[in-house]
Amino acid sequence: MTGIPFRAAFVGLAVALGLSGAAKAADEFIVVQSTTSTANSGLLDAILPQFTAKTGIAVRVVAVGTGQAIKNAENGDGDVLLVHAKPAEEKFVADGWGVQRFDVMYNDFVLIGPESDPAGVKGGKDVVAAMKAVADKGAPFASRGDDSGTHKAELKFWKEAGVDVKAASGGWYRETGSGMGATLNAAAGMGAYVLSDRATWISFGNKAGMEIVVEGDQRLFNQYGVILVNPEKRPSVKVEAGQAFVDWLIGAEGQAAIAGFQLEGQQLFFPNAK
Amino acid sequence: MQDFSQEFMSAIGLILSGDSDLWEIVLLSLRVSLLAVVIAALIGMPLGAALAVARFPGRRAVVILLNALMGLPPVVVGLLVYLCLSRSGPLGVLQLLYTPTAMIIAQVVLVTPIITALTRQTIETLDAEYAEQLRSLGISRLASVPTLLWDARLALLTAFLAGFGRAIAEVGAVIMVGGNINHVTRVMTTTIALETSKGNLALALALGAILIFIAVTVTAVVSLLAPQERASEMRHA
């Protein structure tokens, strides 16, 4: 008797909470493994409702680094892959995990640095020379260090600059092992240089004392691709819904939606599907 | 810093001005964590009590292991649950990855050892007090478990709340198995992590303040049920 209100409260709570969740029944949906730059910049939030309105297919986005997104897709935990590391994407398809890769859009990388610019690289047009100068100066550099698309691009530039960052790791070269935003936060805290995609940088809220120091180099071009995960390898892939999304994204409507997305008056992504 | 506190206040205002997205996130946080703790309590309390009264070789080792498991790293639990629930994992056919159910499973794994260990501790103390009396009534050790649990129910509330605190505050496991999908698996802690990564530090902190407020409220509500019990017991006595 004495215990009834006590127990009933718990049971009631559990039932109420359980039901409130069950109400949201599963409409048709696909899981897209994508990267933090497309999700955190607000691009996907802006364009996906248009796709859902047209097709009735909800899109569930898992935003992680490109490396992890590819791994998750290989595990069958996604229907579509939308990332930005072309060589890794081509390997994904070549290994049979993906059906076919399509160009979707591009933006570009920018080199961010502290306003004080200890390495004196501000205003340069050559990203490799600038990064070499950062290394020569031993100025702090924050790296994603997480096998993301941005990390892969950064490593390519170090290679071109002839800088062995492995040897410098823990010294001036600091691998955060985190997403773009977390790495920008860390760079702001350390007064470090950092390579970022432009979309994340523009939408980033904590720019504290940092600015773009190098931009406009051809090599900073950042291509995004979309791939349907191969149903022959992963039978759980929702082929029709996933293909509908790929078709929409590289078709006229999706491309227009991407072009129409602006933040602070700037277009962040430039559609270039063929 | 002036700027920051202003930003913080405006973020709080924004949040409280009836943002329906936020309420969805708050409700999901509560649903996932409370269900996880209720399930963990249903498993952990009988188990902890049984361990408290049972005598078997290796019992001490089990108790030490159990106490150590209270410190399970959420990110490791997240990884293990991910590997199980992934389509290429043993339980992939259940299609639970990136659902609230996956998050509940991960939190149950995290919280059950905490509730079990704290229950074991509580019941062992109580058993030492009552063992002779119970035995003289001809009640065997294991048969005394329900009686002991019932008698310790107020003390066990603390175990329940400790589990809830762990669950509601945890981010490493739920972000991995839930995927932080908007309107599906986004909870308070993953939202805070996301806003921090977007550099929206004031908003993230404001969300953190709300999370703490919710944790305090739940703890208060659950705790307030306890004195009422005591009062009604006294009436019956």
Spatial distance between the Cα atoms of B34 and B119, rounded to a whole number of angstroms: 18
User: Which pLDDT score, from 0 to 100, does residue B10 have?
Assistant: 78
When computed from its CA atoms, the radius of gyration of chain B, rounded to whole angstroms, is: 21
Q: Which of A7, A15, A17, A196 to mutate to test the interface with B (most CBs of B within 10 A)?
A: A17
Chain A (33-72) residues lying within 8 Å, Cβ to Cβ, of chain B: 36, 40, 45, 60-63, 72
User: Is residue A99 domain-shared with residue A116, that is, in the same domain?
Assistant: no
Is A232 a domain residue? yes
Extract the tokens encoding A111.
Answer: 């080199």
Least confident residue range of A119-133, B42-56, B102-116, B142-156: B142-156
- Who among B95, B100, B229 is closest to A2 (CB)? B229
Decide if B42 touches A, using CB distance below 8 A. Answer: no
Given a cut of 90, whether residue B65 has pLDDT beyond it is yes
Structural domain total, chain A: 2
Mutate to test the interface with A, among B10, B177, B196, B197 (most CBs of A within 10 A): B197
- A114 and A63 in one domain? no
Residues A97 and A155 reside in one and the same domain: no
Tokens, residue A52: 């859902």
**Is B182 within 8 Å of A61 when comparing Cβ atoms?**
yes
Beta strands in chain A (DSSP E): 29-35, 58-64, 80-83, 98-114, 141-143, 173-175, 193-197, 210-214, 221-229, 262-263, 266-267, 270-271
| Distance in angstroms (rounded) separating the CA atoms of residues A114 and A193 | 7
**A21 → closest Cβ in B31, B197, B200:** B31
| A18 found inside a domain | no
Mean pLDDT, residues A95-109 taken together: 96
The residue-averaged pLDDT of B120-147 equals 90
Which residues in chain B have their CB less than 8 angstroms from residue A17's CB?
30-31, 34-35
* CB contact (8 A) between residue A204 and residue B198: yes
- Which residue has better confidence, A211 or A40? A211
State how far the Cα of A111 lies from the Cα of A90, in Å rounded to an integer: 26
Over residues B167-177, the mean pLDDT reads 95
pTM of the model: 0.85
Q: Is B229 touching A (CB cutoff 8 A)?
A: yes
Same domain, A184 and A122: yes
Mutation target to probe the B interface, by most B beta carbons within 10 A, among A1, A4, A13 is A13
In angstroms, what CA-CA distances link A205 with A107, A143, B67? 19, 19, 42
pLDDT at residue B222 in the model? 84
Tell me the residue length of chain B.
237
Q: Cα–Cα distance between B128 and B124 in angstroms, integer? A: 6
Q: Is the pLDDT of residue A142 over 60?
A: yes
Boundaries of every domain in chain B = 21-236
A189 plus A262 within the same structural domain: no
pLDDT of residue B137: 87
Q: For residues A182 and A255, state if they share a domain.
A: no
Other beta carbons within 10 Å of A227: 25
Residue A229 within a domain: yes
Q: Establish if A40 belongs to a structural domain.
A: yes
Tell if the CB–CB gap between A184 and B181 is shorter than 8 Å.
no
Mean pLDDT of A234-256: 96
Say if A19 falls within a structural domain.
no
Contacts of A179 in chain B (CB under 8 A): 197
Q: Are residues A239 and A264 in the same domain?
A: yes
Chosen from A1, A4, A6, A48 to mutate, greatest number of chain B CBs within 10 A: A6
Q: Can you tell me the mean pLDDT for B170-187?
A: 94
CATH number assigned to the domain comprising residue A53: 3.40.190.10
Q: Are residues A103 and A237 in the same domain?
A: yes
The DSSP string of A127-169 is: HHHHHHHHHHHT--EEE--SS-HHHHHHHHHHHHHT--HHHHB
ipTM of the complex: 0.79
pLDDT, mean of residues B203-226: 88
Q: What average pLDDT score do residues B22-41 get? A: 94
Distance from CA of B97 to the nearest CA of A (A): 8
Do A147 and A48 sit in the same domain of this protein?
no
Q: Does any domain span residue A12?
A: no
Q: Which of A34, A41, A60, A79 to mutate to test the interface with B (most CBs of B within 10 A)?
A: A60
- Cβ neighbours for B88, distance < 8 A, ≥ 6 positions apart: A74, A75, A76, A234
Question: What is the predicted pLDDT for the residue at B138?
Answer: 87
Task: Identify the pLDDT of residue B231.
Answer: 47
The pLDDT > 90 percentage for chain B reads 67
Who has greater pLDDT, B9 or B177? Answer: B177
Is A25's Cβ below 8 Å from some Cβ in B? no
pLDDT at B9: 82
Q: Is the pLDDT of residue A21 over 70?
A: no
3-state secondary structure chain B: CHHHHHHHHHHHHHHHCCCHHHHHHHHHHHHHHHHHHHHHHHHHHHHHHHHHHCCCCCHHHHHHHHHHHCCCCHHHHHHHHHHHHCCCCCCHHHCCCCCHHHHHHHHHHHHHHHHHHHHHHHHHHHHHHHHHHHHHCCCCCHHHHHHHHHHCHHHHHHHHHHHHHHHHHCCHHHHHHHCCCCCCCCCHHHHHHHHHHCCCHHHHHHHHHHHHHHHHHHHHHHHHHHHHHHHHHHHHC
CATH architecture of B21-236: Orthogonal Bundle (1.10)
Tell me which of A30-34, A101-105, A216-220, B221-225 is least confident. Answer: B221-225
Cβ-nearest to A236 among B87, B98, B229: B87
d(CA B77, CA B176): 9
Same domain, A61 and A186: no
- Nearest residue of A to residue B31 by CA position? A17
State which of A203, A220, A237 marks the end of a domain.
Answer: A220
More confident residue, B60 or A9: B60
Closest-CA residue to A50 (of A257, A265, A260): A257
pLDDT of B194 over the 70 cut: yes
Listed range (A4-18, A22-36, B64-78) with the worst mean pLDDT: A4-18
Q: Is A48 within the bounds of a domain?
A: yes
**pLDDT value for B237:** 42
Give A162→chain B minimum CA distance, Å: 31
Of the candidates B34, B150, B180, which has its C-beta nearest A17's C-beta? B34
Q: Is residue A6 part of a domain?
A: no
Instruction: Measure in Å the smallest separation between the Cα of B141 and chain A Cα atoms.
Output: 23
Chain A residues with CB under 8 Å of B40 CB are none
Q: What is the mean pLDDT of chain A?
A: 90
B136 pLDDT more than 50: yes
The reply to whether A258 touches chain B by the CB within 8 Å rule is: no
B/e letters for A17-45, b = 16+ CB within 10 Å, e = fewer, are beeebeeeeeeebbbbbbbbbbbbbbbbe
For residue A61, the cross-strand partners are A32
pLDDT at B133 over 80: yes
Indicate whether A94 and A37 sit together in one domain. Answer: yes
Does one domain contain both A102 and A226? yes
Q: Give the gap in angstroms from C-alpha B181 to the nearest C-alpha of chain A.
A: 6
Nearest to B109 by CA among B173, B65, B172, B160: B173
Domain that holds residue A132: 109-220
Residues of A in contact with B181 (CB under 8 A): 31, 60-62
